Amino acid sequence: MIVADGRQCPTCKTGTCAVTNLSRKYESLLNSVAPDLLLPPTELGILQTLETERRAMYAGEIAAELDKSYQLVGRRGKTLAERGLVQRDVNDQGRRTFQITPLAEAGYFSQTAGDALDIGGGVG
């Protein structure tokens, strides 16, 4: 929890807390993100669901997870497929399935040592 500088830490009740403004520290990094990599929340939700489940899924299954309509997931899934982020297939029963691609895995879900935010200082 962040409180005003010099106040007792409400979590551990020892030490003091300080407000840390990260916006300037990471401003150049945030500005360097390519706009074409930014996705709307629904598309990110689709990728997150597919990444978490790690299996081919129907639009209806994804929609239930996101509290969206299967039609919306189907349309957005097509857009994601055009960008190479989702693989769209038709299964043996003739139903469309979606799976996350290695490109999406690497671009949105892989973590490196440099991914952790350096907020400085310790806790409590």
Domain edges within the chain:
36-109
The amino acid sitting at 101 is T
d(CA 88, CA 96): 7
Which residue ranges of the chain lie beneath pLDDT 50? 1-4, 123-124
Phi/psi at 99 (nearest 5 deg)? -140, 145
What's residue 1's pLDDT?
Answer: 43
What's residue 113's pLDDT?
Answer: 55
What's residue 11's pLDDT?
Answer: 72
What's residue 124's pLDDT?
Answer: 46
What's residue 117's pLDDT?
Answer: 59
What's residue 53's pLDDT?
Answer: 95
> pLDDT digits over 50-76, tens only?
999 999 999 999 999 999 999 999 999
Query: Contact 17/1 with Cβ under 8 angstroms?
Result: yes
Q: Look up the CATH number of domain 36-109.
A: 1.10.10.10
What's residue 89's pLDDT?
Answer: 96
What's residue 76's pLDDT?
Answer: 96
The DSSP line for 80-119 is HHHTTSEEEEE-TTS-EEEEE-HHHIIIII---GGGS---
**For the packed helices 59-66 and 41-53, what is the interaxial angle rounded to 10 degrees?**
110
What's residue 2's pLDDT?
Answer: 43
